[in-house]
Amino acid sequence: MPSLARLQRIVQDASAAASLDEILRILSTQVKEVMALDVCSIYLMDADSQELVLMCTQGLDPASVGRIRMPLGDGLVGLVGAREQLLNIEDAPSHPNFHYFPEAHEDEYHAFLGAPIVHYRQLVGVLVGQQRDARRFDGEDEAFMVTIAAHLAGILSHAINSGKVSNLLQSHTSSHTFVNGAIGSTGVGIGKIVVPGGSLSFRQVDELCALDKASELVSFEHAVTGVRNELEAGRAQMEETPGDVKAIFDAYRLILDGADLQNAVRSRIEGGLVAPAALKQAIEELASIFEAMEDPYFRARGEDIRNIGLRLLRFLIEPETVVTNYSEPCILVGEVVSVSDIANIPQERLAGIVCQQGSALSHTAILASALGVPAVMGVGELPLRLLKGQQAIIDGYQGRVHFRPSKALLAEFRRLQRQEQEFDRSLDKLRDLPAETIDGRRLSLLVNTGLLSDITPGLQKGAEGVGLYRTEIPFMVHETFPTEEEQYQVYRKVLGAFHPRPVTMRTLDIGGDKPLPYFPVSEANPYLGWRGIRFTLDHPEIFLGQLRAMLRASVGMDNLRILLPMVSSVGEVDSFLQLLDKAIGSLREDGLEVLKPQVGVMIEVPSTMYLLDFLAWRLDFVSIGTNDLTQYLLAVDRNNEQVASLFSRLHPSVIRALNQVMIQAREHGLEVCLCGELAADPAAVLLLVGMGVDSLSMNAYSLPRVKHVIRSVERAQVEGLLMNALRMSDEREIRDMLNRFLEKSGLGGLIRSGRS
């Protein structure tokens, strides 16, 4: 039997491969060698045709790759796939299921061993080993084949999710291919692919020793100056853009000029590294702090850091800027596409944006949305040099990018483009109208934010206030805890921008997935540990400084509301109220006339649901954080790919829990806001309106569509949907019912948008 070391080496080599083709080649070659096979082949499942397609072989005729297709149950490979069981046959040609393909010359091989490749209950493909002599493979061979197939399923999972398997399968039968990613900005874009600044990546940077440290420091200073000038030019370019998208450039400038980044690079250069290698290490360290966090908003800030890092790298490696002539509509494609890249293109020529990395909450996606440009993020590795100049279609509603589209596909998307433009124009009319049902039930639509640059988009889309302002970022971008004055300056700008609208500021919520680099905490299970209100109550010297900064910032505006995270007991609220009174008292002693703000708690720990009758008289409102609440209710870490598929926002238990909170809140006269991702899901909004939620808080770009849903329904209709949902035992059943209602009500376009 092959050794464990050989197995680990195969898995390690395959995991490090840059493409699916390379993964398949490594696996088939090394398995053939280790097991002394005459043939090793890998078949992948084509989900559209429900056929197993030969995608790689070592031993059969290479010309048969992509041509041999077997439906489930047909042939020996199809039999393995249909049964999802190992098949060990001494003489394959004599088996009744044997299917002869002349082009493969399989009749030369007798011994057959096939193992299914299954990933989270889904058939991915079949791994096959063959030998010329008739013999039965022994138990050790079977065990190795099953083990390597299980590892292969895991390695392929990312490629499957990114759509690359579909690309590979289709590439043998059609020139049209596509990839899937995250929706960054909705819409349809058609244009020629442009790769701004080439295809630079930190993967190309070697950690070399500097021969001249002073020269490397000068190069870095020149790069900083170059990027700073780019940002300033881009900001000026956006001067006439509707809304203050210039604030996004300011956010990038803060990252670029931050002491953390520059000092980290300089110290590494002084330690002996060349500037590109020093930059690589510094960017990896800073970005990883944010990317380790569960909250997608904070993970996106890591993308911003990487974005700035790549701009600096371009100036270090390719200081001479290449000017591109944008004579026709273009789609920007790159590992990351910076805000400067976007600003360099005449807006009438920018058809779309595709990023190999990134999420819907990155500033690239935010800027794309502000400009009305479709964007798809996180599509994974792409052959950028081969794609340059090719035509592509961005389907920003499905998060899909089509390459080399057919004439028929182009015509269909041009029709959709016209249709969606008309629909979006109709939503613009809703900006200043209330989020009110046909029969007069009104909700407040609020925005989630955490950066000053996010403020304007919320106001532009008609937000009636801030439902969740994350206060963690000032704490996370400093080398020490920020001072009361530093916090005051930030909070004052936020409260002032939305005045007189209410702004709900969540107190410091670090710990778990949001560690502070200068205050590390080591815990076996940080998500159930020292985080949120637990941390701040244990550090009143930090908590009081934040409370004083918030209260000072609200003087003269009085639109502050304070929200407590991770509350799990009544005692925590009582302790907070004592600290709040202490902060108010100290400020009044200083001569400031501060008012006591409204106070609420996050309902994200299940225990809080059962304490509302004790908490009600202490609070003014509650805010339901459905992301964490769902995670804790279902015992599912949605960032763990092994169980992420079990994370279900419309799980029957989640719907019942939310309804129970609403019933208790009404009994005690508590206002209820919902601020998780569920608030941006048009199908879920139907149920939330039916429950009687007072306000919904979401990302700015979901506001118009959610308002459209609310203004299109009657309270009785959605209450009926809620009653039906409470009787259903399956998330899919609930989702299908809600989608049918959306279609029947003329809201089917919202299903296509991917938001439901």
The mean predicted confidence, pLDDT, of the chain is 82
* Helix (H), strand (E) at residue 333: strand 330-334
Q: Measured between alpha carbons, how far is 324 from 43 in angstroms, rounded to an integer?
A: 42
pLDDT surpassing 50 at residue 168: no
Please pick, among 56, 651, 675, 708, the residue that the annotation labels catalytic. Answer: 675
Q: Which residue has the higher pLDDT, 310 or 607?
A: 607
- Predicted confidence at residue 726, as pLDDT, reads 96
pLDDT surpassing 90 at residue 693: yes
Diameter over CA atoms, the chain: 96
Find all residues with CB under 8 Å of 175, minimum gap 6, and list them. 404
- Reported as a single tens digit per residue, the pLDDT across 700-743 is 778 888 999 999 999 999 999 999 999 999 988 999 999 999 98
- Reported as a single tens digit per residue, the pLDDT across 562-593 is 999 999 999 999 999 999 999 999 999 999 99
Where is mean pLDDT largest: 362-371, 450-459, 719-728? 719-728
E strands within 553-663?
Answer: 560-564, 598-603, 621-624
- Asked if 388 contacts 197 with a C-beta cutoff of 8 angstroms, the reply is no
- Predicted confidence at residue 169, as pLDDT, reads 46
Find all residues with CB under 8 Å of 539, minimum gap 6, and list them. none
Catalytic residue status for 402: no
Rg, Å, the chain Cα set: 28
User: Does the predicted model carry a pTM greater than 0.75?
Assistant: no
Q: Measured between alpha carbons, how far is 23 from 29 in angstroms, rounded to an integer?
A: 10
Q: Which of 170-179, 485-494, 744-753 has the lowest mean pLDDT?
A: 170-179
pLDDT more than 70, % of the chain: 82
State how far Cα 113 lies from the chain centre: 40
Confidence band (pLDDT; 50, 70, 90) for 334?
confident
Structure tokens at 256: 């670029």
- Asked if 182 contacts 380 with a C-beta cutoff of 8 angstroms, the reply is no
> Collapsing DSSP states into helix, strand and coil, what is residue 182?
strand
- Predicted confidence at residue 170, as pLDDT, reads 47
- Predicted confidence at residue 741, as pLDDT, reads 94
Return phi, psi of residue 250, to 5°. Answer: -65, -40
Confidence band (pLDDT; 50, 70, 90) for 468?
very high
- Reported as a single tens digit per residue, the pLDDT across 381-432 is 777 777 888 889 998 877 889 888 888 888 888 888 887 777 777 777 888 8
Q: Measured between alpha carbons, how far is 354 from 365 in angstroms, rounded to an integer?
A: 10
Catalytic residue status for 56: no
Q: Measured between alpha carbons, how far is 657 from 654 in angstroms, rounded to an integer?
A: 5
Domains annotated on the chain, with CATH: 4-173 (3.30.450.40), 200-321 (1.10.274.10)
- Predicted confidence at residue 200, as pLDDT, reads 63
Q: Measured between alpha carbons, how far is 512 from 556 in angstroms, rounded to an integer?
A: 36
Which residues is 333 bridged to in the sheet? Answer: 354
Please pick, among 119, 363, 402, 708, the residue that the annotation labels catalytic. Answer: 363
Q: Which residue has the higher pLDDT, 17 or 509?
A: 509
Q: Measured between alpha carbons, how far is 503 from 673 in angstroms, rounded to an integer?
A: 13
